[in-house]
Structure 1
Amino acid sequence: MLKFERLRIIENLLNENGSVSTSELSKMFDVTEETVRNDLVELQNANKIKRVRGGAFLIEPVDNEVPITIRTEMLQDEKNRIAQIALEYINPGDTIALDSSTTAICLAKLIKEAQLSVTVITNSIINGSILMDSRNVNLIILGGTLRGKSNSLVGNITNESIGKYVINKAFVSCSGLSMPAGPSDTNEQEAKIRESIFLSSEKNFLLADNTKFDFRTVYLISDFASIDCIITNQNVSKEWSDFLNEEKIELRY
C-alpha cells in the first residue's frame, strides 16, 4: 500500500473513532510501527492530529484529554508497578473506590487476579467489565452520563451517588501534580468525580506516575490535605520529598 493511501485511511479512522493505535495500524497495514509513526508525524505536521506515545488522536478544542484507547498503551510498566503497590493496601472486606484512570484499570485487573473479597465502587465502564464476573467482588457501578473519551460515567447523578457510600479507601489518578496547588485534571467533570470520591473516603491514595509531577492542568481535584498517600513508580526529587514530608503524606514507589 502506498503512503498516501495509508494517510487517507488513518484520517478516515480518526474521523470515525477519534483516535488510532500505532500497533493496530501496524498490523492493519502490515508495516513496521516505525513506518506508522512516520505517517503520524506527517499528519501532525499538517496540524490534523496530536501524536502521543502509542498512537494519535484528533485535536478537539472542547476536550483535549488523550482518549483512553491510547492512554492504556502508554507507560504500561509504570502503571502496573503503581497498581501492584496499591494492591498491598487493600484488605479483604474493604470498600474501595476506583476512578476511570488507566492506572485504576491496572489495579482492577490485579484485584480480580488476587480474588480479593472487596466492594468496588467505580464510575468506569472498563473497570466494571473487568470485575463483573469476579465472584468475590461486590461491584457497584455509579450511574451518570457516559463520557466516551474515558469510558466513564460523569455528571450530577454520579456525584450525588458517590456521597451515599462509605468508602474505606479511594484510588484516584490525575493529569498533573503541582506544588502547592495539588492534583489537577484536564476535564472538569472527571475532576469533580475524583474530588467527590476523595471527600467520601476515609483514606485517599493518589496514583501518579513520574510524568505527572511538576505538571499542572486546568481543573483542580483537591488540595494536598485530602491525600494520605501518593503512589508513583520511581523516587521523587528532594524538593518533592521535603514537601510531602511537611504535608505528612506517605510516599511509595
Structure 2
Amino acid sequence: MYQEERLIDIVHYLEAHRRISVDELCERFNISRDTARRDLVKLEDRNAIVRTRGGAILPSSHSEVLDYTNRLQTVSKEKKQIGTRAASLIQEGDTLILDTSTTVQACAKAMDGLHLKVITNSIHQAEILSEKPHIDIQLLGGRLQKEHGFLYGTSVIDRLRNFHVDKVFIGVVGLSANGLTIAHEEDGMVKRTMMQQAEQVIVLADHTKIGVTEFFQFAELKDVDLVITDHPPDQDFQQLLEKHQVDLLVTDEDPIDYWS
C-alpha cells in the first residue's frame, strides 16, 4: 500500500473510532513503528490529526451554537420526527419536564389532546404549550439568557428540586462516551437537575449529535433511560449504550427496536 492510501485509511479509521495507537497502526497496516510515526507526522502537518503520546486522535471540531431564532430555522425533518416520536410516548395525566432545545420543542408542538402538567425553563416552550388548552404549565423563574430564551440560575435549580415528574425530555449538543454535553454551563446545570427529578430520562438527539463532545458535561450515559435518534448509531456506540443499560429508539427503523 502506498503511503497516501494508508493516510486516507488512517483518517477513515479515526472518523469511526476517534483514536488510534502506534501499535494499532503497526498491526493494522503491517508497518514498522518508525513508518507509523512518519505517517502521523505527515497527517499532523496537514492538520488532519492531533498526535498524542503513543498515537493520534482527530482534532476537536465545534460547530457554532446558533441563537434560538436561527436554530428554529434549521429544525430539520429528522428533528421533527424525533419530537413526534417522543410525544407518542406521553400518556394521559403525565407530569413532564421539557428543556430548551429545538428538538424538544418539536416534541412540545406534537403534544395534542392530553391533560398534562409540564415544567420548563424555556420561554419558547411555554409559548407553544400555552396554545394547548389541556396542558398546565409551570414556567421556572430565574435569570433570562436572552440569546437562547431560557431561564437559569440558583432560583431555577432550587424550584426544580420541589418537583418530581414522570418524564424529562432533554436535548444535547453532544452525546458520546464522554456523556451528555452542551456549550453553556448555566444551561447544563439546569438540565442536570431536571434529570435528577424525573422517573424516566429521555434524550432527543439527531444523528449529528452522536459521537460529539462539547464544552460542558452535565450528565453521564448511565443517567439516561432512553435515547431517541433518527439513524442507527455505529455498532460501537450501540454497545456503549447497551453497557450503560440505555434503551435506543430509532425513528427510521420499522418496527421500533429496543434493547432486549
> TM above 0.5, one fold?
yes
Q: Which residue of 1 aligns with 2:158?
A: 160
Q: 2:184 aligns with which of 187, 196, 199?
A: 187
The C-alpha deviation readout for 1:73-115, integer Å capped at 9, x for no partner, is 224201101111111211011000000100111111111xx22
Deviates more, 1:142-151 or 1:68-77: 68-77
Structure 1 position 72, deviation (Å): 1.1
Q: Which residue of 1 aligns with 2:136?
A: 138
Report the secondary structure of 1:240's partner residue: helix
**2:127 matches 1:126:** no
Report the secondary structure of 1:140's partner residue: strand
Structure 1 position 134, deviation (Å): 1.9
Deviates more, 1:81-90 or 1:190-199: 81-90
Structure 1 position 239, deviation (Å): 0.7
- 8 Å CA contact 1:65–1:187 kept in 2: the answer is no
Alignment of 1:93-242 (within 5 A): 93-111=93-111, 114-179=112-177, 181-242=178-239
Any unmatched runs of 5+ in structure 1?
1-63
Structure 1 position 133, deviation (Å): 3.2
1:168 partner letter: D
For residues 232 and 149 of structure 1, the distance between their equivalents in structure 2, rounded to whole angstroms, comes to: 26
For residues 108 and 239 of structure 1, the distance between their equivalents in structure 2, rounded to whole angstroms, comes to: 31
Distance 1:125 1:214, change over 3 A: same
Q: Which residue of 2 aligns with 1:243?
A: 240
- 8 Å CA contact 2:168–2:198 kept in 1: the answer is yes
2:125 partner letter: N
1:102 partner letter: T
Task: List 4+ stretches of structure 1 deviating above 4 A.
Answer: none
The C-alpha deviation readout for 1:38-67, integer Å capped at 9, x for no partner, is xxxxxxxxxxxxxxxxxxxxxxxxxx6310
Any unmatched runs of 5+ in structure 2?
1-63, 251-260
1:93 partner letter: G
Q: Structure 1 length normalisation: TM-score? A: 0.72
For residues 187 and 98 of structure 2, the distance between their equivalents in structure 1, rounded to whole angstroms, comes to: 12
For residues 125 and 192 of structure 1, the distance between their equivalents in structure 2, rounded to whole angstroms, comes to: 18
Q: Which residue of 2 aligns with 1:81?
A: 81
For residues 146 and 115 of structure 1, the distance between their equivalents in structure 2, rounded to whole angstroms, comes to: 30
Number of matched pairs: 187
Q: Structure 2 length normalisation: TM-score? A: 0.70
**Aligned residues: percent identity?**
27
